Amino acid sequence: MGQYIDPKISEVVDLILNDYEDERTVNQIDIHNQPDKSAIIDVVDKLLKILYPGYYSDKVYKIYSLKNNMSATIEDVIYHLKKQIAIVLKYNEDNEAVPAAELDEKAERITLDFMKKIPEIRGVLETDIEAAFEGDPAAKSKAEIIFSYPGLFAISVYRIAHELEVMQVPMIPRIMTEHAHSITGIDIHPGATIGKYFFIDHGTGIVIGETTIIGEHVKIYQGVTLGGISTRGGQKLSGVKRHPTIGNNVTIYSGASILGGETVIGDDVVVGGNTFLINSVEQGTRVTAKKQELKYSNKKVAGKKTGSKSKE
C-alpha cells in the first residue's frame, strides 16, 4: 500500500510546487518583505491598552507600576509599528526605488508623528463614549460601554487606522479595520472621515465606505450601508468621491442604505429604517419608507370554533 501511495503523493507535491513558479499574485512567497498581519493585530491590541489604560491593561500590574508598564507598552508599539510601516512603504509606487535605509527613517518619522496623535485620538474617543452613554438608555455606565460595546471597539480601531491612512501608510490601516470588522461585523473603511460624538448602536452589518464623510453627533443603527451606487468602474473610480456625506445631528435607523458620492444628507435629518436613498435630503427632513401592506392569515382547525366554550 505504501509503495503505491508514496509516488502519488510525490506527484501531487511536485505539481503544487511547480505552480509557484509563475508571477501570479498568489505566488508571492517573499515573507521577509511582506507585512506581518499578526504583528499588526498585536499592535492594535497594545494601542487599545494605551488608549484605555484602566480597561485593557494587564491586571497583574499594580496601580503604582501602571506607568512603568505603559512606558514599556508604548516603546513596544513604536518599535513594531515602525518595523511594519517600513515594510509596507515600498508598496507605494513612489517608494519603489528608495533605499531601505531611507524608508526606515521615513517609517520612524511616521510612527513618532502617529504616536504624538494619541492624546488627540483619546480626546475624540471620549466624545464617542459620551455619545453612546447619552444615546443608549440600556447603558448602565461608561465602563460598560468600553468593556462590551462592539460599536465603540470598531470606532476605536477606526480612529487609530484613520490617522495612519491620513499619513499615507499603505495596507496597515485596512488590516486594522478589517480585524475589527471580523470581530464586530462593522465595516468602516479607514479612509472615511468621521466627526466627534459618533455612536454606533448594535452595529452588526454596518458598512461605511472609503470616501464617506460623517459630521458630529451622528447615530447609526445596525445594518446601515453608506456605500457607492456602482463599482463597475473598478480602479478607474479610485480617488473619486463615491460615498455619501452625512451632516451633523443625523440619525440613521436600521437597514437604511444611503448611496452615492453626490448624495448629501443635511443636518438634523432622521432616516427611517429600511429606506433606500440615492438623492440628497434637505436639513431637518424626516425620511421614512412607505408602510408595507401586511397580510395576516389564521387557519382554524376544522370542526372547532376559536374562543368557544366547552359544554359542561
Place of cell 533605499: 99
Are 159 and 197 in a shared domain?
no
Are 198 and 176 in a shared domain?
no
Into how many domains does the chain fold? 2
| Burial degree of 246 (CB within 10 A; 0-12, 13-18, 19+) | buried
Boundary-marking domain end, from 150, 185, 220? 185
In a domain, 262, yes or no: yes
In a domain, 285, yes or no: yes
In a domain, 296, yes or no: no
Do the Cβ atoms of 135 and 149 come closer than 8 Å? no
In a domain, 74, yes or no: yes
- Each residue's pLDDT tens digit, 2-38: 555 688 888 888 888 888 888 777 766 665 678 999 9
Low-confidence ranges of the chain (pLDDT < 70): 1-5, 27-32, 57-66, 231, 301-312
CATH code for position 61: 1.10.3130.10
In a domain, 2, yes or no: no
Are 177 and 216 in a shared domain?
no
Predicted local confidence at residue 215, as pLDDT: 98
Predicted local confidence at residue 58, as pLDDT: 64
Are 40 and 74 in a shared domain?
yes
Place of cell 471580523: 182
Predicted local confidence at residue 10, as pLDDT: 85
Predicted local confidence at residue 244, as pLDDT: 98
CATH code for position 202: 2.160.10.10
Q: Which residues, at least 6 apart from 206, have a Cβ–Cβ distance to it below 8 Å? A: 185, 186, 187, 188, 200, 220, 222, 223, 224, 225
CA 223 to CA 287: how far, in whole Å? 17
Predicted local confidence at residue 2, as pLDDT: 52
Are 59 and 169 in a shared domain?
yes
Boundary-marking domain end, from 167, 185, 203? 185
Q: Please give the residue range of the domain that contains residue 177.
A: 31-185
Are 121 and 215 in a shared domain?
no
Cβ neighbour number for residue 211 with a 10 Å cutoff: 19
Predicted local confidence at residue 4, as pLDDT: 58
Are 67 and 158 in a shared domain?
yes
In a domain, 6, yes or no: no
Predicted local confidence at residue 302, as pLDDT: 54
Q: How far apart are the first and last CA of the chain?
A: 80
Are 168 and 257 in a shared domain?
no
Are 83 and 219 in a shared domain?
no
Among residues 190, 184, 191, the alpha carbon closest in space to that of 206 is found at 184
Cβ neighbour number for residue 93 with a 10 Å cutoff: 8
CA 247 to CA 302: how far, in whole Å? 58
Are 63 and 149 in a shared domain?
yes
